[in-house]
Structures are given as structure tokens and as C-alpha cells.
Structure 1
Amino acid sequence: MNTTLAVGKKKQKLYQTDKILCILLLLGDIVGLLLSLSICLWLQSRQNLNSFDPLNYLFIFLVLAGLYLADTYHPDTQIAGLRAPSRILISSVVVGSIIASLIYFTGVWGKDMVFKRGILLSSLSIFTLWAMASRIWAVKWVRSQAQHSRWLILGADKKAILFGKTFLECSSLGQLVVLITSQQKINELAKSNRVSAGSLNDLPQWSQQAWSGVVVTSPMELSDAQTQQLMQLRLSGVSIYGIPDICETLWYKLPSFLLQDNWLAFGAGFNLASDSISQKLKRLLDIILAWSLFLFFSPLMLLVVLAIKLDSPGSVFYTQIRTGLEGKPFRVYKFRSMYQDAEKRGAQWANERDPRITTVGRWLRLTRIDELPQILNVLWGEMSLIGPRPERPEFDIKLRQEIPYYDLRYVVKPGITGWAQVMYPYGASVEDAYEKLAYDLYYIKNYSLALDLAIVFKTIRVVLLGKGR
């Protein structure tokens, strides 16, 4: 069995910084909002901020929600060419407009000190500058940390080489040191100037250096002395990983080509498939939320029906046979986003600029509104609101042959949205299916209500930013 994930005593030096950075930015935003409100309130009326006033917390919540939906807690990413500071400015304008509208329509203007003229607008303006500055600092800090990321890999079998390639693709600045035996070859990895190799027999010397973590590819091949050395590293605060565990920790996914039967048999997680209580609770939430969504989106769905009818001839709805729980087929319902008879030449994946997609259909796909009729599939028990995306049986045959552990995605009900859908673009090839499955396996292994809640918020972000296809 691969080495069990060891949570070290010290913070991991690069990839754990993503979580740490998000928390620090969130705390910094809360402090910045409180300071901005306090300063503006003092300058305007010489009064201190009332910490028991719920309107203060409503204002803070709306601002933080806007920042989250604008994806500003990942400051080094671009969305539609906009970096975090630009998205912060847009978020502040939108949130400011929403707050102004709420104040106007509820008639609370002037009834509370916080809502007096100039306080909220001034506070939001000061905080916007604060948030922009914090993101600029965060980007510089992340890049400086990435330059010092060094990972030690013990062994160079096929899976280690695949992991190394994935690491180099996902990390632009991280360094790998691979310790091998004299019989092993590392030619594929040695082509990169970010990879160096050494002898596994020199592990005591290498262990004296600073490492972000150690990855053990084949624990059974280590001698007792080398195992003792790893134990000392772990006790000193360096985390020790097996290959699947490090992928799970760094990238929140489980690439199927790096998995092994013994890891799946003995590893933790994958409880949703066997836990009847979790299944029943998930089903109960599906029913309650599906009915709520159906009632809430009914007016929008009526408008969509009218838009599809006016845009192109054909049926409003489109149905397909998809693979469900335990591989059983079922019929899924969607709003039609392609021209009539779009698949007269047979089943095929949709491309980014597929000519078969209608004008209205392109907007439906970008906002994922075309998926709304699947609420009926949820109510009928064929799907869940959250789970792996159901695939077509025609594609399943090919993917099952090419992707190891592909059928694991069907040990749970498919979903309208899911971890793969919010973490990776719409799949249109076997390579995309590999990546989507990696995220699906992570979800199945680590299922929790907290993870479902995270997927809900990320789905809202995808819809608002138009990142679907």
C-alpha cells in the first residue's frame, strides 16, 4: 500500500499556501471593511462603529460575496483577460449598485448611522483600494514562495515519471529532485532543467536539506534504514506522501493513471457509495432544493422556451440517453441549444465554437441554463443536483477502454453540476475525459456536505462569469 498521507507539523511551503493565502486574504478583507467603515463613520459623525448592528455585517457579507463570485481569492489568475484588481473594481461597482438599490427600495436611508450619505460609498471606495493592494502583494508573495518549492521523489517507476510530468505542467517554478537506484532510468524527466537526480543510497545527505514534501513511489522497495530516515523527516515536520495522496493534496484531483488497486482497497474515503445515511440525507436535500429551484427558475424557463422558439425551428427540449448510477441508462432532458438534427451524422462531442450551436443556445451553454430541465431528472431520482456529469453510452464504450478506473464514476448518481464541472472546462476529447474523471474521483472519495456547498458556490461563479460551454 502506498504511504498514507502524513500531515506534517509545519505548513507546507507551496501548495498549502493556496489555502493559507485564501484565509489570509479573507481575514484581511474583513479587517479592511471594518476599518473602512470605522474611519468613514468617525470622520462623518465622530461616532464609533456599533459592533452589534446587523446592518454592518450585511454590508460586509455582500462585499465578501461579491469578491468570492469574482474569484478574487485566487489573485494570480486571469478571467476574460482581467486580473484580480480589475475584478475587484467591477465587483465593488456591482455590489455598490445592489446596496444602493436595497437602501432605496427598503427606505432605510438615514435611519441608521451607517446608511447616512457618504459613509457606505466612501467605505467601499477605501476598501476597494485596500483589496487591490492586498492582491498585488499576494501575487508577489506566491511567486516568491514558488521559487523556493522543492520536492523530493523516491523512485522513478512509470507512475513517478507520469507524476513528474504532471507536476512540471501544473507548477511553473517548482523543482523536483528524484532519488533513484543504479538500475532505474530517469531520462524522460532529466530533459527538464527543473529536475535533478541523485542516488537513493544518499538519502541521509539529501534529507538534511529543506523540502516542501517527500513523495514515495514504492514503499516496499525501501530498506529499513531508508524507512527510518523517512520517519525522521516526518517527525521534523516534512510531509510524506504516496503518489495518489500528493495529487489529491496539490491539485484536488485523483488522476486515474496514477492509481493502484491496493490504494483503492485500503485507502480512506469513498464512503458515499456505502453509507446509506449519507445517501438518504443527500437524496432528501436533492428533493427539497430541486423543488425550490424549479419554483424559483420557472419564470426564467418560460422566457427560455420563448427565446428558443423565436431563434430556430424545432423542439424546445432535447433528450439524450445517458449513463446513470451503476451504469444504468436513463433519459436526460435539456433545453435545445443546437439546430434541429445536429447529430444526424452520429454522436459527437461539442466543440468550443461548434457551428451546430444556435445563437440562443450559445448563451444557454455559457450560463448553464440549458441544464435546468434536468431538475426533473433529480426529482425522479435518476440524478442528483451534485455529482459526476452523466456521459453518453456511445462515449462510455471508448472511454472505458482507454481510461483506467473509468466506471468508478458511476458508483454514485450523476449530477447537474459537480466538482469536475466547476474545476475544469467542458470536456470535448478523451484527454479532457481523463481530467474530468480525476476530479470526479476526488469528489467521490472526499464527499461531504461542505464539499457540496463549495461546489454550489463555484457553480454560481461559473454561471455569473459565463465560463460554461
Structure 2
Amino acid sequence: MRERTRELGLLIIGDVFCFIAALYITLAARYLALPSQELLRIHLIPFLIFTGLWILVFFISGLYDKQTRVARLHMMGRIVYAQFVNILIALVLFFVLPFGISPKTNLLIYLFVSIALISAWRTYLYPWLDGARRKRMSALLIASGTEAHELLHEINENNRFNYRIVHHIDPENSMRDVPGAPQLQKMISQKNIDLIIVNTSLLYAQHTLTLLYSDLAAQGLPPMRDFKTVYEETFDRVPLATVERDWITYHCADRDSLMYTVSKRLIDIVGSSILLLFFALLLPFIALAIKLDSKGPVFITQDRIGKNGRRLRVWKLRTMTQSESTSGLFFKENTTNVVTRVGKYLRASSLDEVPQCWNIILGDLSLIGPRSHILAQAERLAKIIPHYKLRTTVTPGITGWAQTHQFYEPGNISPQSNEETCLCFTYDLYYITHRSLMLDIEIALRTIKTVISRI
């Protein structure tokens, strides 16, 4: 948590500095001279006011996500997108508020200068500052499965971590070659191990490390960190390999505080009521477009799985050539049911989901939570994904942690394979583990960006 706070603080300070530096360079370029104090003052005041909104846009755009390799791959596109939005916000505010200036040309110059500065800061200077500030420790990883290899590559190929994994013990794939307690202690000493990351659900880890750390003669052994905790902190999702009885007992219990329960329900009712009023104004035009585009009803119903596996019926706008409610086939390769032209835009804008706000008012759904699945789909996935029914231990929602974090192939807005659905499930488990009012607010803000980016 301390590392994340430091990372976030450094990024925000650097971004604010880039905003101010870009303004200075813009004024110098615009007037071909160093800006005077008066010129700088009349521009700096509104720009400082805008900074808070611009930082919020950066947050919504994902520029303050954890700096994983995947996040850095998408960074340039996010910077350009966010700065275009920020300039539009500035144009509107300069028009509405009496700042006394209307710097249209300056804003155009500022757009390109700020993108260049922020890109240079994020791509070169920040990684250098982040990596140069400390010497990386040596870590030992004791874990099995694809998730262990995923964590190993992320840590060793990303300088944001203050340690690197110098040795990996995979008990499930190499049981004959794994060291016992004496050999492990010797290896820790020889490789100068400073930290052990271990999946404590593995029998090997439980047996060997218990012997190792209970030996009073073993001095100077490095501290241990739980594999599940490190994985969650890195990827914002729960590794399926660590989900066991104790995890289920604790995280799936009804542990929500009264304040959270009441606040969430109040937000659900108010938010869904506002969305339904907005939807009522658009409905005549949407209904006409659906009827003109293809044959069939405007609305469809679907039987879905609610909290604790309870069956519920939801309403949606029809977006496909057939009624989705009658289909038990869900991935593209398994169905001839195709999305209509109007349906494509309804799905991209999530307008097809708005009728479910009635289910929110009834208490069947929430605005925020794991997406509810069609009954037949949920039954099929429960047979192939371990612990899949755990996602029904909380009230399902219209948008969730998975919908705002998972990356899909271009043109897709939901999982299109068993593998993508399994990944989606790990994000759902993260939400179940960490659900809170602040996390719900974060998801709501991220949803704005997710919807806008689709349109």
C-alpha cells in the first residue's frame, strides 16, 4: 500500500508539473518571447482551476492505474485521449466562466505541447526516477500454475517493483527436484534471498517452510509475503489457485457494514431512477430505430442468476436478430444469432442495459457488482470454471470491476471465450474480496471512460 501511494503521488506531481510547464512553453511559442508575469498570471489562474478536473479525467482514463506492462502498452493512447477531453473541458469553461480571456489558439498549441511533455515524463523520466531510487532486492517465488509464471514475468520485466525473482520453485511441476528444508535454507543463503513470496495453500510450502522457520537455529531468514496478496496488488484480480475453503468462508460471508449496505442501496435507487427518467426521453427514438432496423420486439426478457443463485427475470432492449433470451449458446463461434446495426450502438453505449434499472429498484440487481449471467450460461460455466458460483454471493450489477479492467479484442465488449470468462471471474473475485463504497465510486468513474471509449 505504501508503494502504491508513493507511485500515485509521484505520477500526480509529475503530471501537474507538466501541465504548468506546457502552459509556459505554449505562451513562449505563441508570442515568441518569454511570457511576462502578468501574461503568465492571467493564464495560470484558470489553468490551475482546470488542473483538478484534468487529474480526474486522467484517473477516469486509466492513467493512474498500477503501472503494469499492460497498462504501459496502452499509455500513449490514453494520454492523447485524455488531453483531447481536457482541452474540450477547457474550451467549455472558458466560454461559460468569466476569465476575461479566450485563448483558442493557445489551447491548440497547449494540446500538442502537453501531450509531448506528459508522454516524455511517463515514458522516460518517471520509469527512471522509479527505478533509480532504490536497489532491487532478490526474491524467491514458491508457487505453481500459470498465475505464478504470470507474476514472475511481470515482476522481473517491470522496474516498478523493488525486488526481482531470482529463483522459482514450482512444486506441482517438479516435485522430484524441489529442495527440502535444509537445502532450501542453504539456497536462500547462497542466492542472498531478501524475500520469499509463497502460496501457502501448497502442501510443500506448508511442510517445508514450517520446518524451516520453526528451526530456532535458523537465523537471518528473509520475511515472507503471501502469493495471493502480491498477485492481487499487482493485477487487481484474485488468483484462482489460492481460492480454498478458508478464503470462501471469510470473503463470501455477509460481512458488509450497515453503513455500506444502506449507502449502496440508496445510491442504487437514486441512480437507477435518474437513468430511467433519462431513458424514457430517448425510448421513442430508440424503439423506432429498432423496429426500422430489423423484425422483432423492442424489448426482450432474460432469465438470469441473482444473488445466492436466485433466478430473476430482467428486461433489455433487443440488440440481436433473434431473442437472446432463448439462446443457450453464447460465444461467437457457437451461434448464428448476430448483432443488428442499431444493436451495435446500443451495446457500445450500454443503453440496452438501462431497462435493468427497474430490477435495481426492485432490489434484484445493483448498479455496481459482478454482471448477472443468463441462466443456461451460468450453469454451463459453473461446470468448467472452479468455484464459479462464488460470484453469486453478492448482488449482481450492471457494471463491475471486470467490465472496467479487462481488455478485449477490438469490436468486443464482453468475454468471447471460456478463457476470457475465467479471467473475468478473477476480477469478480477481487471485487467480492475488496467491495466497499470507495471501490464502487471508482468503478462508476471508470465506467464513464469505458462507455465513451466504445462509442
Return the alpha-carbon distance in structure 2 between the equivalents of residues 142 and 355 of structure 1: 52
Name 1:31's counterpart in structure 2: 17
CA contact 1:336–1:361 (8 Å) conserved in 2: yes
What is the letter of the counterpart of residue 320 of structure 1?
Answer: Q
Name 1:3's counterpart in structure 2: none
Distance 1:54 1:304, change over 3 A: farther
With structure 1 as the length reference, what TM-score do the two structures score?
Answer: 0.76
What is the letter of the counterpart of residue 418 of structure 2?
Answer: V
Superposed displacement of residue 119, structure 1: 5.2
Return the alpha-carbon distance in structure 2 between the equivalents of residues 127 and 392 of structure 1: 46
Q: Do residues 100 (structure 1) and 91 (structure 2) align?
A: yes
CA contact 2:68–2:234 (8 Å) conserved in 1: no
For the residue of structure 1 that corresponds to 2:342, the secondary structure is helix
Name 1:303's counterpart in structure 2: 285
Superposed displacement of residue 140, structure 1: 5.7
Return the alpha-carbon distance in structure 2 between the equivalents of residues 142 and 90 of structure 1: 25
What is the letter of the counterpart of residue 435 of structure 1?
Answer: L
For 1:418-457, list aligned pairs within 5 A.
Answer: 418-424=400-406, 425=408, 426-457=414-445
Name 1:357's counterpart in structure 2: 339
Superposed displacement of residue 29, structure 1: 1.0
Q: Do residues 177 (structure 1) and 161 (structure 2) align?
A: no
Q: Do residues 248 (structure 1) and 235 (structure 2) align?
A: no
Name 2:266's counterpart in structure 1: 284
Aligned-pair identity in percent equals 27
What is the letter of the counterpart of residue 446 of structure 2?
Answer: K
Structure 1 unaligned blocks of 5 or more: 1-6, 191-196, 235-239
- Picking from 197, 205, 210, the partner of 1:214 is 197
Structure 1 or 2: more helix by fraction: 2
Return the alpha-carbon distance in structure 2 between the equivalents of residues 395 and 341 of structure 1: 15
Q: Do residues 88 (structure 1) and 79 (structure 2) align?
A: yes
CA contact 2:69–2:154 (8 Å) conserved in 1: no
Distance 1:68 1:390, change over 3 A: same
For the residue of structure 2 that corresponds to 1:127, the secondary structure is helix
What is the letter of the counterpart of residue 456 of structure 1?
Answer: A
CA contact 1:419–1:443 (8 Å) conserved in 2: yes
- Picking from 419, 444, 459, the partner of 2:447 is 459
Superposed displacement of residue 83, structure 1: 4.9
Query: Cα deviation per residue 1:341-386 (whole Å; 9 max; x = unaligned)?
Result: 4676x41114399751111212222332221211111112110000
Distance 1:60 1:300, change over 3 A: farther
Deviates more, 1:252-261 or 1:161-170: 161-170
- Picking from 347, 363, 384, the partner of 2:366 is 384
With structure 2 as the length reference, what TM-score do the two structures score?
Answer: 0.78
- Picking from 222, 230, 239, the partner of 1:233 is 222
Q: Do residues 61 (structure 1) and 61 (structure 2) align?
A: no
Superposed displacement of residue 47, structure 1: 2.4
Return the alpha-carbon distance in structure 2 between the equivalents of residues 384 and 231 of structure 1: 50
Query: Cα deviation per residue 1:399-454 (whole Å; 9 max; x = unaligned)?
Result: 22333322221121100001122222422333333222221111111111111111
Distance 1:142 1:408, change over 3 A: farther
Return the alpha-carbon distance in structure 1 between the equivalents of residues 13 and 281 of structure 2: 38
Structure 2 unaligned blocks of 5 or more: 29-33, 158-163, 409-413
Distance 1:370 1:230, change over 3 A: farther
Return the alpha-carbon distance in structure 2 between the equivalents of residues 76 and 233 of structure 1: 26
Superposed displacement of residue 107, structure 1: 6.4
Query: Cα deviation per residue 1:121-144 (whole Å; 9 max; x = unaligned)?
Result: 554443222112112216865997
Query: Cα deviation per residue 1:206-229 (whole Å; 9 max; x = unaligned)?
Result: 445255652243335424543576
Q: Do residues 259 (structure 1) and 243 (structure 2) align?
A: yes
Deviates more, 1:82-91 or 1:302-311: 82-91
> Larger relative contact order (C-alpha < 8 A, sep ≥ 6)?
1
Query: Cα deviation per residue 1:94-140 (whole Å; 9 max; x = unaligned)?
Result: 43234224433x263xx436x55755555444322211211221686
For 1:160-175, list aligned pairs within 5 A.
Answer: 160-167=144-151, 173=157, 175=165
Name 1:136's counterpart in structure 2: 123
Distance 1:390 1:85, change over 3 A: closer
Superposed displacement of residue 247, structure 1: 2.6
CA contact 1:161–1:188 (8 Å) conserved in 2: no
CA contact 2:181–2:208 (8 Å) conserved in 1: no
What is the letter of the counterpart of residue 178 of structure 1?
Answer: H
Query: Cα deviation per residue 1:191-240 (whole Å; 9 max; x = unaligned)?
Result: xxxxxx75542444444525565224333542454357698523xxxxx3
Deviates more, 1:126-135 or 1:291-300: 291-300
What is the letter of the counterpart of residue 177 of structure 1?
Answer: H
Distance 1:200 1:412, change over 3 A: same
Name 2:328's counterpart in structure 1: 347
Distance 1:263 1:231, change over 3 A: farther
Deviates more, 1:204-213 or 1:316-325: 204-213
Query: Cα deviation per residue 1:226-258 (whole Å; 9 max; x = unaligned)?
Result: 357698523xxxxx3333333322222123343
For the residue of structure 1 that corresponds to 2:313, the secondary structure is strand
Return the alpha-carbon distance in structure 1 between the equivalents of residues 9 and 286 of structure 2: 39
Return the alpha-carbon distance in structure 2 between the equivalents of residues 290 and 321 of structure 1: 20
Distance 1:442 1:385, change over 3 A: same
Q: How many residues align?
A: 426
